[in-house]
Every structure is written in structure tokens, then in C-alpha cells.
Amino acid sequence: MNGLLALSLSWLLGQTAPAPSTEPTEAEATSAVQAAQLDELRARLELLQVQDEERTQQTQARLETLEQERTDEQAARQQAELLRQESLRSLARAQEWLAAMDRLLETGEEPIGPAVVSAQRELSDALASTADIGRGESARLIQNVLQRLGTLEDSVAQRNPDAARLQLFFAGDELRSAWRMNLDQTRLPALEP
């Protein structure tokens, strides 16, 4: 009766009666926990899917980068081989011009100027190709030959064909060394990764 009296009093005073107990049952609590766990698992799964997609995209991008690097390296090697072949052809033609100059100096019949110019042109072409593929020692030898050819005409002008032929002999020796260095394919420069 006290409870009814308290209820009546609170009603009279304008207060609402306390609500009956709404505590969840054990089954409802278990269901709510399971629902929260399920939501958490779904969120984790979504996160894992997003991370997996990101890894897949990163892997694909890396594969594309590696493929492009491989393609670029192949192109660079092919270009280096073309330059090496050009250099060998130019060096061989320059050697022919040196042989022609030697014959001209031996006979003393014709001026050697045109032969010197032709040999210098071939050597300049070979030097450009050799420098492009990073063959420093070969380039140095070709430069030596060019310098010797520059002094060759002076020796001829001073009527000293023996000195000219000696310069030509040394030039031929250096030219053969440069040619052998360019012939060796295994000495192509390593490309940077």
C-alpha cells in the first residue's frame, strides 16, 4: 500500500511514476554483443579488402616499373651495340686510310692531305661512338691517333717522310689497340639499375 500511496502522491504532485524495469534479458544482451562483434568483423574485413587492393595496386605498379626498366635497359644495350658496331666500322676504314698513307709516303708520288682528312673524319666518328658507350681507354687511344695525324703533314712538309712513317706506325698500333678494345663485347658498360 505504501507503493500505491507513493504512486498516488507522485501523480498528484505532477511527477511521473517510475517506469517498470526495462533491463534486457540475457538473450537480448547476447544478441546485442554478437551483433556488435559481427559489425566489428565486417569492418575488419572491409579494411583487409582495402589493404589487399592497395597492395595489389602497389605490386602492379612495381611490376610495370620493373618492366619499363627492363625495356629501357634492353634499348640502351641495343643502342650501345649499334654504336660499338659503328665504331668498329669507322676504325676499320681509318686503318685502311692509314695503310693508304703509308703507301703514299713510301712512293712519295701524291700528297697525303686528302687521306689524312678522310682518316681524321673516320676517327672522329669512331671517337664519338666510343665516347657514347663509355670506353675511356679506347677513346684515349683514338685521340692519340688523331694527334699523330695532326703532326704527320708537318713531317711531310719538312721533307722528313721517315718521321712521318714512324708517326704512322705508332698511330696504326694505337688504332689496332682501340679496335681490339671495341671488338670485345663483354666490355660494354654496365647499365645503372
Percent of the chain, pLDDT > 90?
38
As to burial, measured by CB atoms within 10 angstroms (0-12 exposed, 13-18 middle, 19+ buried), residue 41 is exposed
Percent of the chain, pLDDT > 70?
81
pLDDT at 170: 93
Among 186, 185, 4, 3, smallest CA distance to 84 is for: 185
Residue 193 has pLDDT above 90, yes or no: no
**What is the mean pLDDT of the segment spanning 84-113?**
88
| Average per-residue pLDDT for the chain | 82
Q: What is the dihedral of CA 161, 164, 165, 170, to 10 degrees?
A: 170
Among 17-21, 106-110, 143-147, name the one with the lowest average pLDDT.
Answer: 17-21
pTM over 0.75, yes/no: no
pLDDT at 188: 47
Residue 180 has pLDDT above 80, yes or no: yes
Distances (CA, A) of 151 to 26, 80, 99, 160, 180: 108, 32, 17, 12, 25
Give the span between the Cα atoms of 164 and 181, in whole angstroms.
26
**What is the mean pLDDT of the segment spanning 99-120?**
87
The DSSP annotation for 120-135 comes to: HHHHHHHHHHHHHTT-
Give the span between the Cα atoms of 112 and 157, in whole angstroms.
10
Quick: pLDDT tens for 30-45: 888 888 898 999 999 9
